[in-house]
Structure 1
Amino acid sequence: MITLHHVEQTRSMRTLWLLHELEVPFEVSIHAFDKSLRDPGYLAISPAGRVPSLEIDGERMFETGAIAEYLCERFSPDRLGRMPGAPDRMAWLVWIHFAETVSQHCAALTQQHVALRDDSMRSPIVMKLEAARLIKCYDAIEARLGGGILSQDYLLMSGFTAADVNVGQAVYMAQHFAKLDNHPNVAAWYARITDREAFQLSLPKDVPLFDRTFYDPWPVE
Structure 2
Amino acid sequence: MQDELVFYTNPMSRGRIVRWMLEELGQPYRTEVVAFGPEMKAAGYLAINPMGKVPAIRHGDTVVTEAAAICAYLADAFPQAGLAPPAGDRLRGAYYRWLFFGAGPLEAASVNKALGVEVPPERKGMVGYGSMEDVVGTLDAALSSANHLVGDRFTAADLYVGAQLGWLMQFGVMEKRPAFERFVASLSARPAAVRARGIDDALLPPKA
Compute the TM-score of the two structures, normalised by the length of structure 2: 0.79
Shift of 1:60: 1.6
Distance 1:161 1:199 in 2: 13
Give the corresponding residue for 1:28: 31
Are 2:165 and 2:174, in contact at CA under 8 Å, matched by a contact in 1? no
Structure 1 unmatched runs, 5+: 113-124, 212-221
Which residue, out of 138, 150, 158, partners 1:164? Answer: 158
SS at match of 1:186: helix
Once the two structures are superposed, residues 151-183 of structure 1 have per-residue CA deviations (whole angstroms, 9 ceiling, x without a partner) of: 2111112311000111111112212133543x2
SS at match of 2:86: coil
Change (3 A) 1:35 1:4: same
2:43 pairs with 1:40: yes
Equivalent residues in 2 for 1:50-129, closer than 5 Å: 50-76=53-79, 79-101=82-104, 102-108=106-112, 112=115, 125-126=116-117
2:202 pairs with 1:199: no
Change (3 A) 1:54 1:161: same
SS at match of 1:193: helix
Change (3 A) 1:47 1:179: closer
Are 1:5 and 1:30, in contact at CA under 8 Å, matched by a contact in 2? yes
Give the corresponding residue for 1:188: 182
Which residue, out of 172, 175, 187, partners 1:177? Answer: 172
Change (3 A) 1:109 1:180: closer
Distance 1:108 1:207 in 2: 27
SS at match of 2:58: strand
Distance 1:20 1:135 in 2: 33
Task: Give the AA of the match of 2:150.
Answer: L
Structure 2 unmatched runs, 5+: 121-130
Task: Please identify, of 63-72 and 41-50, the stretch whose mean Cα deviation from structure 2 is larger.
Answer: 63-72
Equivalent residues in 2 for 1:200-219, closer than 5 Å: 200-203=194-197, 204-205=200-201, 206-207=203-204
2:128 pairs with 1:137: no
Change (3 A) 1:21 1:78: closer
Quick one: percent identity of the two aligned structures? 24
Q: Provide the aligned length of Structure 1 versus Structure 2.
A: 190
Distance 2:190 2:23 in 1: 10
CA RMSD in angstroms, aligned pairs only: 2.8
Change (3 A) 1:59 1:85: closer
Task: Give the AA of the match of 1:207.
Answer: L
Task: Give the AA of the match of 2:195.
Answer: L
Shift of 1:198: 1.4
Shift of 1:77: 6.1
